A and B are shown apart, each in its own frame.
Chain A
Amino acid sequence: MDLFKLFNKGESSNSKDIAKERLQLLLIHDRANVSPQFLEMIKGEIMDVLTDYIEIDETGLEIKLTRTKRENDNSTIPALVANIPIKKMKENIR
C-alpha cells in the first residue's frame, strides 16, 4: 500500500473518483460502526505507549481506518493505519 498516497488527498481531477474514494472510506466506518471517539481513544493510548520511547509531533499524528489487500490471497480487509511523525528518539532507549 502506498502510504504517501493514502495521507495525501486524492490527486485525481475526476470528481467521480474523489466521490468513490470518499465513499469507500466512509462505508468502512459506517459498516464497522466505528465512532470518531473510538479512533481518538486509540490515538491517545498509542501515544501514551510511544511517548515513553519517542518524542512525537502530536499535531501531525493521524490515524485512519481504511482497507488494504491481504498479502496471501489479495482479498480486501480493513486496516488501521497510523501516521506518526517522530521528532526524536528519547535518550534513555539508546
Chain B
Amino acid sequence: MGEVIVITSGKGGVGKTTTTANLGTGLALEGKSVVLLDADIGLRNLDVVMGLENRIVYDLVDVVEGICRIKQALIKDKRYPNLYLMPAAQTKDKNAVKPEQMLKLTKELAEEYDFVLVDCPAGIEQGFKNAIVGANRSIVVTTPEVSAVRDADRIIGLLEANGLRNPQLIINRVKIDMVRRGDMMNIDDMVDILAIDLLGVIPDDEYIVVSTNRGEPAISESKSLAGQAYKNIVKRILGENVPFMNLDTDEGFMAKLAKVFGFRKK
C-alpha cells in the first residue's frame, strides 16, 4: 500500500505546485513509482510545471465520472522511470468532485503506486476537503511572510481536526540575505510559531522560474539551490536523516547554508 501525501498551504502562490512537481520527480528518481494528482480543479497548473500539458486527453473529473479508466487518464512522464500525472479538469467547476469519489480514487492509486502526491488548491473549501480526504500524510508549504504563516496555521488546525495528526512544514522562498539583515523571519522563528515538524527549507531561487519556463522540475538540475533543497526533502520523506542547517545565530549563515545545500561560497 502506497502513501498518499497532500501538499497544502491555505494561501495561494506559496509553492504547492512547484513542491509537488519537484518532490514527485525526486521520488521517481529514487526509484519509486509516483502519481502526481492535480486536485486544483478549474485552475490546473501541475501539467504546465511538469511540461506535460500537450499530452492531456482525459482528466480527474473524467475518471470519477466513469468516462474513462484511471490508466487512461494517467500521463506517463517519459523522462523518468515510473512517474505519472493525473491532470485536473480545467473547464469544470471545483465542486464537480465529491470527497467520497476522491477517497476511492486515491485508495485505488495507492494500491498500485508507492506515492500519490496530491497538489491541493488554495483555500479551505470543497477543493481542500477533496484534496485531504484520502491522504495519510500532509505537508504544509509556507513562505516567511505574515499572511502565509497565518494561513498555514489555520490549515494545520484543519488538518489536525481532520485526523492528519502530524503535518510537516516546508518553508519556501527563503531569502538568505534578508534573513541575515533581520528582515525576514528565520527558520527557528517559523518553527517556533507554527510548532510542527520541519521537513525542509527551500531558498528563493531564480532557477525555479527557468525550470517552470522549460517544464522541467528544478530537482533534475544539479546547479539549482532549490533543486538541492528538494533533494534533501525527498531523502527525508524516504526516512533518511539529512541534517538541517543550524540557525541559532546568523553568524556564518551563508557557509552553513552552502554546506547544507552542497554549495561553495562565491
Chain A interfacial positions (CB closer than 8 Å to B)? 13-17, 19-20, 22-24, 26-27, 30-31
Contacts and interface: CB of A to CB of B under 8 A. Distances in A.
Q: How would you classify the secondary structure of chain B's contact residues: helix, strand, loop or mixed? A: helix
Q: How would you classify the secondary structure of chain A's contact residues: helix, strand, loop or mixed? A: helix
B189 A15 contact: no
A23 B153 CA distance: 10
B43 interface: no
Interface of B: 144-146, 149-150, 153-154, 157, 179, 182-186, 189, 192-193
A14 B185 CA distance: 10
Contacts of B193: 20, 23-24, 27
Nearest to B193: A23
B146 A31 contact: no
Contacts of B183: 14-16
A63 B193 CA distance: 23
B260 to A, nearest CB: 20
A15 B185 CA distance: 8
A18 B184 CA distance: 10
A28 to B, nearest CB: 10
B182 A31 contact: no
B154 A30 contact: yes
A14 B149 contact: no
